[in-house]
Amino acid sequence: MGGFMAKFKTDVASDRAKDEMRNIEVEIDFTPNALASILYRQGETHILCCVTKESRLPGWFPRDATKGWVHAEYSLLPGSTDSRFRRERRGAKGRTQEIERLVARSLRGAIDLEALGPIALTVDCDVLNADGGTRCASITAANIALRLAVRRLIAMGECLPIDLRPTRDQREAGWTAPTLSETEATNHENKVIPNDLSAISVGLLGEDVFLDLDYILDSNADVDMNVVGTSDGRFVEVQGTGEESTFSYDELQALLDMARNGLAQLAEMQAVVLSDIE
């Protein structure tokens, strides 16, 4: 039996089946200056994601660190919502901090920081247009951009297997980075990022479970859940909330099953998008 529902609802009409994802479009190198950038559209939620290599590791890292770091920032741009979203000029507010921490720890959960080496990367996720699921779309977009950035760092000789990295003396003596074969580069990329990362929202409206909530579905859901997972079927984070409602174990299982379906679709999409990009 379903949980107690206390919300007053509007009629919800959708032209999608309950288990149908919104249409996804990915444009690579949307901006030219970043190490990697993509414009990611999931329905009417549009995310610009850029990856930048920092000049040094965070100050709290030891001087001889052998592993790297991935930081993320998230922002809603002023024109992304139906009424202007005010710029957070005095620092990120609570919701923004929560989301960028989610994006960052999700990325760090899927990347091998030792294999990355002593490199610091910042992933910026800017919401150009918001129609539900912005945090999930940001995570999926961030993974695509991050893998592309790692692929390029390997090609540039800046991200190498640990046994090929130079000592400080070698660097000072004018060390030249080795050139990896295509197979060696691919193997190292897959060691740095063993499995792709994606995220999807699911929701319970009455007795029905819906995949990939847009704003209307999300604002009417009795229960909504954000699920982050890797392409080998493992979870990184699950955020589920009864919105003035409760939900049963069986309903929780149905939500997770729907989310796994969505994550599998996103993993397949990412594999196709990244298959031939340098």
Q: Classify residue 41: in a domain, yes or no.
A: yes
pLDDT at residue 2, as a whole number: 39
Q: Classify residue 267: in a domain, yes or no.
A: yes
Q: Classify residue 260: in a domain, yes or no.
A: yes
Q: Classify residue 96: in a domain, yes or no.
A: yes
Please say if the pLDDT value at position 216 is more than 60: yes
**pLDDT bucket at 192, cuts 50 / 70 / 90:** very high
Rounded Cα distance, 227 and 225, in Å: 6
Q: What is the pTM of this model?
A: 0.91
- pLDDT, tens only, 134-164: 999 999 999 999 999 999 999 999 999 999 9
Q: Classify residue 10: in a domain, yes or no.
A: no
Nearest to 109, CA basis, from 198, 201, 226, 212: 198
Domain range enclosing 88: 24-274
Helices (H), 16-157: 94-110, 113-116, 134-155
Task: Name which of 28-42, 141-155, 235-249 the model is least confident about.
Answer: 235-249
Nearest to 34, CA basis, from 162, 123, 104, 107: 123
Please say if the pLDDT value at position 122 is more than 90: yes
CA distances 50 to 27, 64, 219, Å, are 12, 28, 29
pLDDT at residue 12, as a whole number: 59
**pLDDT bucket at 1, cuts 50 / 70 / 90:** very low
Q: Classify residue 8: in a domain, yes or no.
A: no
- Within 10 Å of residue 137's Cβ, how many Cβ atoms? 30
Report the number of distinct structural domains present in the chain. Answer: 1
- For residue 34, what is the domain's CATH number? 3.30.230.70
